[in-house]
């Protein structure tokens, strides 16, 4: 599945930022807020953009606020409340004043970027992520954003499988659930 190649990468960034920077539960364990937001944010951005520059402490804090807003969108879709998800994305688009601009850099062909008005790194990522989620929500794949359904995990994912049957953030969570179901069947016998 391919929404639009740049949007696909930015959706991956949105997932990575939410999973790295928002507290909750991860694969059966508590996920406290990270000690080093800047390092976690840089790692999340580099998961889709390997050459991304370092993130300052202030930018890390700002990106964590962006991530909390993005998480709400995944949560709304997971609850099948697409209306709420759309309202949240629209609010983000408006606040970030996401603005499309064709750019060409690093030997790449012309491609569409989305920027906020201030030119700050976190503001630009907020605008980009809001736009990418808007592209997903506005497409036939609008229900492909999700929150892990394994016990004690609330990490998010985007389902790019052909049949759209993904339910877990990771194979780790999928295996946890499979193992638990297998044990439960054993006990029932
Ligand atoms: Zn999970």
- Angle subtended at Cα 120 by Cα 48 and Cα 128, rounded to the nearest 5 degrees: 45
User: Under a CB-based contact definition with an 8 Å cutoff, are residues 153 and 26 in contact?
Assistant: yes
Query: What is each CA distance from 188 to 10, 178, 182, in whole angstroms?
Result: 45, 15, 10
Task: Measure 36 CA to ligand 1 centroid, in angstroms.
Answer: 22
Query: Above pLDDT 90, what percent of the chain?
Result: 72
Q: 111 CA to middle of ligand 1, Å?
A: 33
> Is the distance from CB of 144 to CB of 128 less than 8 angstroms?
no
Write the pLDDT tens digit of every residue in 38-96: 999 999 999 998 989 999 999 999 999 999 999 999 999 999 999 999 999 999 999 99
Q: How far is the CA of 176 from the centre of ligand 1 (A)?
A: 9
Hey, what long-range contacts does 35-39 have (CB within 8 A, 24 or more apart)? 36/60, 37/61, 37/63, 37/64
Query: What is the CA(78)–ligand 1 centre distance, in A?
Result: 13
pLDDT score of 188 more than 70: no
Q: What is the Å distance from ligand 1's center to 87 Cα?
A: 26
- How far is ligand 1, taken at its centre, from the CA of residue 165, in Å? 15
Q: How confident is the model at residue 1 (pLDDT cuts 50, 70, 90)?
A: very low
pLDDT tens digit string along 135-160? 999 999 889 999 999 999 999 999 98
If you average pLDDT over residues 108-125, what whole number do you get? Answer: 85
CA of 167 to the centre of ligand 1 (A): 9
115 C-alpha vs ligand 1 centroid, how far in Å? Answer: 31
* pLDDT reported for residue 88: 97
């Amino acid at each position: 599945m391919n929404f639009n190649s740049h949007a696909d990468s930015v959706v991956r960034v949105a997932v990575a930022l939410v999973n790295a920077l928002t507290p909750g539960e991860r694969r059966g364990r508590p996920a406290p807020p990270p000690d080093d937001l800047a390092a976690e944010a840089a790692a999340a951005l580099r998961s889709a953009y390997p050459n991304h520059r370092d993130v300052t402490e202030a930018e890390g804090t700002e990106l964590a606020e962006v991530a909390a807003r993005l998480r709400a969108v995944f949560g709304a879709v997971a609850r099948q409340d697409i209306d709420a998800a759309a309202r949240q994305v629209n609010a983000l688009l408006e606040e970030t004043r996401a603005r499309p601009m064709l750019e060409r850099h690093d030997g790449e062909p012309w491609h569409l970027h989305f920027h906020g008005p201030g030119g700050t790194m976190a503001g630009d990522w907020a605008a980009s992520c809001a736009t990418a989620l808007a592209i997903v929500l506005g497409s036939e794949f609008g229900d492909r954003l999700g929150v892990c359904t394994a016990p004690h995990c609330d990490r998010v994912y985007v389902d790019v499988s052909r049949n759209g049957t993904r339910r877990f953030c990771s194979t780790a969570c999928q295996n946890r659930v499979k193992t638990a179901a297998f044990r439960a069947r054993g006990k029932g016998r």
